[in-house]
Amino acid sequence: MNYDNLEGLAQALFEESGDALFLFNPETDQILDVNGKVQRLTGFPLRDLLGMPLTQLFHFEAPENLQNFRRAALDSRTFHSQEGYFLRTVQEGVWIPVNLTVARLHVKPTTLGLATVRDVRKQREAGTQLKRTEAELRRVLASVSDCLWSGEVTPDGKCVFRYFSPVVERITGYPPAYFLAGIQRWWSVVHPNDQPVWENAIVRLRAGRPGQAEYRMIRPDGTVRWVRDSVLVSPGADGRSFLLDGVVTDITERKLAQEALHESEERFKHFMDNSPAIAWMKDEQGRYVYASQRFEHYFHLPLADWRGRTDFDVWPKEVAKQFRDNDLAVLAVGKALEVLETIPDGAGSPHSWRVIRFPLQDSAGRKFVGGVAVDVSGQERRP
């Protein structure tokens, strides 16, 4: 159809536009003209499109979408929708997601409506793929036992948190949003006795130095968790700020195990130091690795001087050979051996000792010989 103001360049732009264009009567909703893009996009021939109600070609996801469309066609405001509109095609049940713009054209002899339709299938698919990727990333981050976080030291020296992975709630009891409100939120859940440790770590970060700190955090229910906070620092794009990338690891179980081990070692040391027997341990090469306090006291040689030395370094040759032969016998048979041995005291006087040697092995598979002994010289002198 011909209108005085739809000639020349305007007509060429209408036909060659990369968008699908519909001229329609805003009062009756009837399609008056379309460009070639409409036919290619929908598959409908021109004869079927002309006279068809424009709204019949669209699916409106929400009732207000149709209302917004009709309102824009009847007043002078331009309407543009980003989503919620689908263009019908000649294939039954096949609809194309589109962006829709509706404007009124004040031309003679009557005002027309212009609907501009843009195929957004690629953008929609890219958005869908992005959502899938984000969902997968969230799933992975939620499954990792460590909390990942990022932040920034601004040019004026302020530390700002930018991101926390969901695992932060599992460790601290607080959701990520709680800490994004300000760095003081993190400080507030650090155990009061460990706040100086955390504050020193922040000082290093403000100076652009990476670091690692271990401290306790108090959960909302009052329970305490140990964490290791490891942070890498990189320069910001402006050259005056620092970017922070951190990993918070819950090390509570390790700390508890270390404390239990330390307590066990302390109990063992207390027991052995107060035992009437002397005790020692040697590695497979016969080097001393442990001696009880009573052992050190009786033979007048501190552990620091025993450790790493063999019997041949500290005893007369015949005594050292006796000890080494018995150690090798224990290692060979793999079971305890009880013997009487003559051992000189710190003054060099010989004493008879009842000795039990037994094999040991650590978690790495290294072999040792342990020994405990009681001085039975007095018993031998009794009638």
Q: Residue ranges of the domains in the chain?
A: 9-124, 144-251, 275-381
CATH 3.30.450.20 describes domain 9-124: yes
What is d(CA 99, CA 117) in angstroms, rounded to the nearest whole number? 6
What 3-state DSSP class applies to 153? Answer: strand
Provide the pLDDT for residue 383: 43
- Distances in Å between the Cα of 366 and the Cα atoms of 89, 117, 283, 362, 376 are 77, 77, 8, 6, 32
CA atoms within 13 A on the CB side of 292: 22
Provide the pLDDT for residue 108: 79
Assigned token pair, 191: 């155990």
Provide the pLDDT for residue 62: 75
Domains 9-124 and 144-251 share a fold: yes
What 3-state DSSP class applies to 12? Answer: helix
- Residue 233: which residues within 8 A CB-CB, separation 6 or more? 153, 205, 208, 209, 210, 242, 243, 244
Mean pLDDT by 10 residues, the chain (383 residues): 51 75 89 91 92 89 76 68 83 90 82 88 81 72 81 93 92 95 95 96 94 96 96 92 94 89 82 84 92 82 83 89 93 92 76 91 91 80 45
Provide the pLDDT for residue 55: 87
DSSP characters over 37-82: HHHHHH---HHHHTTSBGGGGEEESSHHHHHHHHHHHHSS--EEEE
Provide the pLDDT for residue 276: 82
In 3D space, the residue among 156, 151, 148, 147 whose CA is nearest the CA of residue 243 turns out to be: 151
Residue ranges with strand state E in the chain = 20-24, 31-34, 58-60, 79-88, 95-105, 112-119, 147-153, 159-164, 211-218, 224-235, 242-250, 278-283, 288-291, 337-344, 350-361, 367-375
CATH superfamily of 275-381: PAS domain (3.30.450.20)
CB atoms within 10 A of CB 373: 21
Cβ pair 248, 227 in contact under 8 A: yes
What is d(CA 33, CA 296) in angstroms, rounded to the nearest whole number? 107
Residues linked to residue 373 through DSSP beta bridges, in sequence order: 278, 355
Provide the pLDDT for residue 3: 47
CATH 3.30.450.20 describes domain 144-251: yes
- Distances in Å between the Cα of 78 and the Cα atoms of 68, 70, 335 are 10, 11, 94
Assigned token pair, 35: 């460009």
pTM of the model: 0.52
Provide the pLDDT for residue 145: 79
What is d(CA 150, CA 21) in angstroms, rounded to the nearest whole number? 47
